[in-house]
Amino acid sequence: MFNVSRRLVVPDSVRVHRYQSLPELAPSILFFSGGSALNKISRQLKRYTHHSIHMVTPFDSGGSSAKLRQAFDMPAVGDLRSRIMALADETVLGQPDVFDLFSYRLAHDMSDEQLWQEFSQLTDGSHVLMQPIVAPMKSLIKAQLARLQAHLPEDFDLRGASVGNLIISGGYLGNQQLLDPIIFLFSRLVKTLGEVTTIVDETHHLGVRLTSGECILGQHLITGKECRPLSSPIEEIWLNHGLTENHPISAQVPEDRRQNIEQADIICYPPGSFFTSVVANLLVSGVSEAIVANPNPKLYLPNLGEDPEQKGWSIMARIEYLLRLMLGSPELNRQTPVLNWILLDSNYDYGEVDELQLQLWGVTVVKADLIRNKPDRYDEQQVVEALLSFA
């Protein structure tokens, strides 16, 4: 086997232009993510490559996903839905209408009778958002909603329900309680320019232990977005069975996901909630081994601004945590790398970045202009151009 090296230029305008000209032949970038942090970048990325792979966590226990999870003991589908729509081919006829439907939420201030009436209008196709949807998409959506309607408990609370989540949940119930078939089908129908999948098709939850000794179960209680921020830093995180008691559980990465990880041209640990979006993917058995088996570039693009989950965790501590989680010791990263590069904005203050220590761990810092107008937000275009330069 021969190793070929090249000079890294970030951004590499020649490569970026080549990929934009032929996105169907562009490299595959695999993201370990969850939540909405990557959606805007994904909308830009699909202009340059049709081969991005998004490993999304199905462990969310908040929002409208929580009600569906409680009713049907199913994985969370909200992050899947939003990423699929972010990657949908916007040139397809009727795509804006589908996007509007999947993004629509039922009102919080309507009576139960009014909510069920509107849900029935969606199911029979008479709703104003259903009328512009064309076949075969319209028939498929109606079938999934009808199936869900037949299974919903009479006391199910429709307030704030995401219609996209309801549609996918109906498909889940109609496919032997498996997410993969309905995600594949909808991805084909909206012509997703990339691949979106859960890291596992399981109904697990997340649990954490804080440095104070307190244990918290449920992603919605960990993120600090739907409730008060954590009182002390996270010390440990695990997959948990249910939300009522500490019951750590393991999960094995499916073979098709493992192959995607091993074969991706670039692996990216992207911006997003550090523990519940990025680290949660890495808790699944077999993921770290698949990352090690991939010889291609692996990079970390840290968050900007405040992530409540990162309370007490400096950027160096987060990097060390990732290496220890996957390898047991940061020093082993030189021989069996799970992380090669840290991609940073040239001017943003991430806190102390010890480049000498990172070099000892086999990690190199690369800086580029990644922020344009908003000081706490990455510019999607500049991030995409930087990421593709590593391929």
- Domains of the chain: which residue ranges? 205-240
Q: How far is CA 257 from CA 18, 72, 102, 251, 261, in A?
A: 28, 25, 26, 13, 6
Type of residue numbered 177:
Q
Among residues 282, 226, 286, 276, the alpha carbon closest in space to that of 59 is found at 276
85, burial (CB in 10 Å: exposed 0-12, middle 13-18, buried 19+): buried
Which residues pair with residue 217 across a beta bridge? 207
Q: Which residues contact 337 (CB under 8 A, 6 or more apart)?
A: 292, 298, 362
Half-sphere exposure at residue 163, Cβ-oriented, CA atoms within 13 angstroms: 26
Using DSSP, state whether 323 is helix, strand or coil: helix
CA R_g for the chain: 21
pLDDT at 142: 97
Tell me the residue length of the chain.
Answer: 391
pLDDT at 63: 85
Type of residue numbered 118:
E
pLDDT at 3: 61
Using DSSP, state whether 111 is helix, strand or coil: coil
> Mean pLDDT of successive 10-residue segments in the chain (391 residues)?
71 96 98 88 98 97 91 95 94 87 95 97 98 92 97 95 96 95 91 96 97 96 85 97 96 98 98 96 98 98 93 97 98 98 97 98 98 93 98 92
Among residues 262, 192, 200, 185, the alpha carbon closest in space to that of 30 is found at 262
Spatial separation of the C-alpha atoms in residues 76 and 34, rounded to whole Å: 11
Question: Are the C-beta atoms of residues 231 and 210 closer than 8 Å to each other?
Answer: yes
pLDDT at 5: 65
pLDDT at 95: 85
Q: Which residues contact 117 (CB under 8 A, 6 or more apart)?
A: none
